[in-house]
Amino acid sequence: MNNTLSLFQLCDTNFPNGSFSQSFGLETYIQKDIVHDSESFLKWLRVYVHEQLAYADGLAAKVVYEALEAEDLEKVWEMDRLLKVQNLARESRDGTQRMGDSMLNMAEAIYGFDQLVTYRQQIRDKQAFGHPAVVFTIAGYQLQVEKETTILYYLYSTIIGLVQNAVRAIPLGQTNGQQIVYQFQKDLQQVTNKIIHMDEAEFGVVSPGLELGQMQHERVGIRIFSS
């Protein structure tokens, strides 16, 4: 079995992790007409991935992978909690938790890894919250996929969901969406390389503008996304 392909299953746009209902503040920028076409969306996406996703989910994936290598599960649960509390926007925080729960349910059913079962028990015992970056990284580690590839695939799965949501919300054509995914491949590699060389102390260094956009989404009058 090709373990890398097994992990790539979690990146499928049809994978039921709930990402189709989350925009993570993108809809706020659409409502303000800051994002209105392929070019403006690509600009937003670059800022989101380089300035927020990298320093939160991406860095957490690196730390979690290294903690699993060191058999330090307490560090894994610590990162789960930090991912929850550093996310200041309530909708994004709650939406991410729901996505983590959905991904964990499916990953448990598909792979059945003991560490996923343990993660579920931690959540039931209220010692963890659940986050897709943690679930994805546990799956990647257990499938013996390299750390860099695991991080890269997680970033890819995130932007795929955002691109599909942009296609619906701006709206963009499907061809435009696929062109953006293609153009963004170099960015994904750059961000992965940056994450690999990050220090854990950099966790949570995110763009205030993006956080404000995510908070403001709660008051957007007409919307199709939960965050």
What pLDDT, on a 0 to 100 scale, did the predictor assign at position 21?
Answer: 87
What pTM did the predictor assign?
Answer: 0.95
Tell me: cis bond preceding 16? Omega within 30 of 0 counts.
Answer: no
C-beta separation of 139 from 116 below 8 A: yes
Q: Where are the domains of the chain?
A: 18-219
What pLDDT, on a 0 to 100 scale, did the predictor assign at position 219?
Answer: 84
What pLDDT, on a 0 to 100 scale, did the predictor assign at position 20?
Answer: 80
What pLDDT, on a 0 to 100 scale, did the predictor assign at position 8?
Answer: 86
| Average predicted confidence (pLDDT) for the chain | 93
What pLDDT, on a 0 to 100 scale, did the predictor assign at position 36?
Answer: 96
pLDDT digits (tens, 9 = 90+) for 84-108: 999 989 999 999 999 999 999 999 9
Structure tokens at 194: 């940056």
In this structure, whether the domain defined by 18-219 belongs to CATH 3.40.50.720 is answered with no
pLDDT digits (tens, 9 = 90+) for 2-38: 688 889 889 887 787 878 888 999 999 999 999 999 9
Put residue 15 in one of left, alpha, beta given phi > 0 → left and psi -120 to 50 → alpha: beta
Q: How many CB atoms lie within 10 A of CB 84?
A: 17
Alpha helices by DSSP H, the chain: 3-8, 26-31, 38-48, 59-69, 73-85, 90-111, 114-124, 132-142, 147-169, 174-183, 185-196, 208-216
Residue 128 identity: A
What pLDDT, on a 0 to 100 scale, did the predictor assign at position 119?
Answer: 97
Q: Which residues of the chain have pLDDT under 70?
A: 1-2
